[in-house]
Amino acid sequence: MIKKKLSELVFWLHLPIVITWFGLFAVPRSIWSGRITFHFWFIVILLLVQFIWGFILRRKMDMICPLTTLMQYWRGYSCKNKKNYGHSFIAELSNKIKIKIHYKGVNIVLLITLVIVFIQYFFFR
């Protein structure tokens, strides 16, 4: 019971990160002039943490969220289980609200937003 509650807590800890990732696109520079720089570094740090964690767990370049590892561990999956490194919070949340989004579709959307953030940072800040 405790592990289930802990895994739910960690599941929902993903939400502010995802809201920040996508939500910052809605903040105009006229309101926050440093938004583009903050958004860029927010995403770069998130990606670095995930690449470092992926390397620690799998000894190869892979993106694995430490929160997901903790959540899946409390759900009963080992760190080496594909449900750890092949999991997406966004896809799981979408499925919970009856919107079917595949893990790969989420990755494509995240890649597109990453490219947009990099373009904004290098050309429009």
Number of independent structural domains in the chain: 1
> What are the contacts of 21-28 at 24+ separation with CB within 8 A?
21/46, 21/110, 21/113, 22/113, 25/113, 25/116
Distance CA 44, CA 39 (A): 9
Q: What is the pTM of this model?
A: 0.90
Give start and end residues of each alpha helix (H) in 32-98. Answer: 35-58, 66-74, 82-85, 89-96
Which pLDDT tens digit goes with each residue over 50-103? 999 999 988 888 888 999 999 999 999 988 888 888 888 999 999 999 998 888
> What are the contacts of 22-28 at 24+ separation with CB within 8 A?
22/113, 25/113, 25/116
Closest CA to 61 of 70, 69, 50: 50
Q: Which domain holds residue 30?
A: 2-124
Residue 1's pLDDT band (boundaries 50, 70, 90)? confident
